[in-house]
Amino acid sequence: MDENEIEAIRAALKKANEEAKTYRLEAKALQEQLEAVQTETQTLKTNYLQTKAQDALKDAGLTNAKAGKFIDYSKVSVTESGELEGLQEQLDALKEDLPELFNAQQRVSGGADAADKREARPQKSSADILATNLLKG
């Protein structure tokens, strides 16, 4: 091998090393972007799942918002169509284990709710009371 061939090989090797370094940096940047997107996606998916689950709990008659802590969200998944899979089974189990959490207004004092209340009488002012007493006697 003569000196020109060695220099050509060295130049090609240097160029290949620079290209490899550029590709490694690009791959690292893309990997970081991918991880950021995956983290964002997981956060959005979790928020969507919890929001849909809270709506489903309200629809099922759950009156205590804190009762959502009884749901194991790791067993609930979102299907391709956006529906929650595995939530209904947990709701059924929760209704069976803690029925008092659902539709509590129907079980208070034998089914009393706002519709069962009597109309409140307006309070009389002291002048009305005095006038009534004067007219009576």
Torsion angles phi and psi, residue 84, rounded to 5 = -95, 130
* pLDDT for residue 14: 96
Residue 57 near residue 91 (C-beta atoms within 8 A): yes
75-84 per-position pLDDT tens digit: 888 888 888 8
Residues of the chain with pLDDT under 70: 63-65, 103-120, 137
34-43 per-position pLDDT tens digit: 999 999 999 9
Q: Is 65 exposed, middle or buried (0-12, 13-18, 19+ CB in 10 A)?
A: exposed
Cα-Cα-Cα-Cα torsion 35, 36, 40, 45, nearest 10 degrees, comes to: -10
